[in-house]
Amino acid sequence: MISINSRLQPTDLQAKLNTFWELSGNKIGLMDKKYDVSKGSPVFTIKGQYSTRGWTEWTQGFQFGSAILQYDATGEKEFLQSGRKKTLEVMAPHISHIGVHDHGFNNVSTYGNLLRLMKEGKTEYNEWEKNFYELALKISGVVQASRWTTIKNGGFIHSFNGPHSLFVDTIRSCRALVVSHLLGHVFQAENDVKINLLERALLHSKATANYSVYYGEGRDSYDIWGRTAHESIFNTKDGNFRSPNSQQGYSGFTTWTRGLAWAMCGFAEELECLEILPDTELEAFGGRKQLEEFMLKAARATCDFYIAHTPVDGIPYWDTGAPNLHKLGNYLERPAEPYNEHEPVDSSAAAIGAQGLLRLGNYLINKGQTDDGNTYRQAGLTVLNRLLEEPYLSTDPNHQGLLLHSIYHRPNGWDYVPEGSKIPYGESSMWGDYHIRELALYVGRMIKNEPYYTFYSCASGQ
């Protein structure tokens, strides 16, 4: 399990964060010069160079969102100009993309961050520009919400696999619905029936908590507190749950760690967002207490599982049930080994999961649960501290990636395996690079006593 550094403070990371943002800026500049956006969204690196991978267009917002985060952290205006220009030129198809469940990834990372910066006074206020960003976010949320499957006692936003498929990933991407709702948008269907976007976001969160997260309550033979299934399969004729499954993990009965990390971060963020919603608005959906209870249970469970089933330095292997992990011996009792011969680590899961740990810790501390809150908070700082060092931080000026040892799709064999190795290592991903930047920004703003970074600040002003 993670060996949590209880003494580590955000300010202790300042020197590493300074180095990080310098490297980050160089990587973004390298991408601008070398990557041809006409090829499609950059997905992962091969021998240090970003390439695309046809599956779905879910990563382009991370590319341009990275430049926007770089400006937020450093004030270097060329990154703002680049991120704003590319968002305008390239991101419009992602707003209306009806074939993916990833609107929160693509559009909140770009239009949302640009709108947030304007509301925070970090960019010049312009009424038409503000309206443009708001309109993009309003429509993106509706397109996301239209991918709806009704099940017994609720429903969910279905994945690109079809209406039977609930992905654990989407808990973080459903931010798009919440932002659209907070901006006051009205979703209308046949006969002008109005559909409540907040309701769909909450029902999706509840379905994810019920079916994607396990609580050690005897659901199946592999039911362990906090483990997650990547995909949950439903019978769309009667709305019944049928089985767990996995697209990118080893199986439906093992825990793909990036899926686990999406849940950690997603539930913690939604908990934070509940704080700004009035009681009267939540009463129609069971009330604040009931909503907080299921979200907090899911957030705690997934974060606990991550802490318990990750090596001491906080970097997980790609799946906690990967078939060759046993060949590594007591791998949880020593730092992760990205260059081993048996199973790869996934640093992108660490970057995403660490933000979940920090947000849950902050939430509990604000609720007066200081001991538990500090445990999660310190675990998140411990993970970030490790990610800001080699071999995870990419210092090679010719490598376009920022966070090394990220894994995309191990079962399909899509990740680059260096010559002479049995496993992939040494490469980066667009989501990994974005989320390590977002994590660094989150902690950096804490150090500077800047407004608390949330996805909904773009819509709420908080």
Q: Which residues have CB under 8 Å from 383's CB, separation 6+?
A: 2, 313, 314, 315, 350, 353, 354, 357
Tens of pLDDT, residues 132-164: 999 999 999 999 999 999 999 999 999 999 999
Q: Are strands 231-234 and 194-195 parallel, antiparallel or unpaired?
A: unpaired
pTM over 0.85: yes
Q: Assess contact for 434 and 442: CB atoms under 8 A.
A: no
Answer whether residue 191 shows pLDDT above 60.
Answer: yes
Identity (one letter) of the amino acid at 118? Answer: M
The Cα 71–Cα 50 span in angstroms is 22
Query: Three-class SS of residue 231?
Result: strand
Q: Is the pLDDT of residue 40 over 90?
A: no
Please report the pLDDT score of residue 461 as a whole number.
60
| pLDDT tier at 35, thresholds 50, 70, 90 | confident
**263 Cβ neighbours under 8 A, 6+ residues apart:** 168, 171, 208, 212, 213, 228, 298, 302, 356
pLDDT at 206: 98
Which has the closest alpha carbon to 120: 456, 451, 454, 459?
A: 451
Q: How large a percentage of the chain has pLDDT more than 90?
A: 95
In order of their start, the domains of the chain are 10-460 (1.50.10.10)
427: left (phi over 0), alpha (psi -120 to 50) or beta: beta
Question: Which is nearest to 38 in space by CA: 60, 11, 18?
Answer: 60
Reported as a pLDDT band with limits 50, 70 and 90, residue 254 is very high
296-314, pLDDT tens digit by residue?
999 999 999 999 999 999 9
**Which string of DSSP letters, residue by residue, matches 237-304?**
TT--EEEEE-SSSS-TTS-BHHHHHHHHHHHHHHHHHHTTS-HHHHGGGT-HHHHHHHHHHHHHHHHH
Q: Is the pLDDT of residue 38 over 90?
A: no
Q: Quick one: pLDDT band at residue 334, thresholds 50, 70, 90?
A: very high
What are 442-458's pLDDT values in tens digits? 999 999 999 999 999 99
Q: If pLDDT is split at 50, 70 and 90, which confidence band does 423 have? A: very high
Cβ atoms of residues 8 and 381 within 8 Å? yes
Tell me how far apart the alpha carbons of residues 155 and 153 are, in angstroms, rounded to a whole number: 7
Q: What is the pLDDT of residue 176?
A: 97
d(CA 409, CA 54): 12
pLDDT at residue number 462 = 57
Q: Mean pLDDT in the chain? A: 96
Confidence of residue 112 (pLDDT cuts 50, 70, 90): very high
Q: Measured between alpha carbons, how far is 403 from 432 in angstroms, rounded to an integer?
A: 6
Distance between terminal CA atoms of the chain? 35
pLDDT in tens, 90-109: 999 999 999 988 999 999 99
Specify the DSSP class assigned to residue 164: T
Once rounded to an integer, what is the mean pLDDT over residues 400-412? Answer: 97
Q: What is the C-alpha separation between 333 and 310, in angstroms, rounded?
A: 9
pLDDT of residue 55: 72
Query: Rg (Cα) of the chain, in Å, rounded?
Result: 20
Tell me, what amino acid is at 158?
Answer: H
Q: What is the mean pLDDT of residues 48-64?
A: 89
Q: Model confidence over 351-366: pLDDT tens digits?
A: 999 999 999 999 999 9
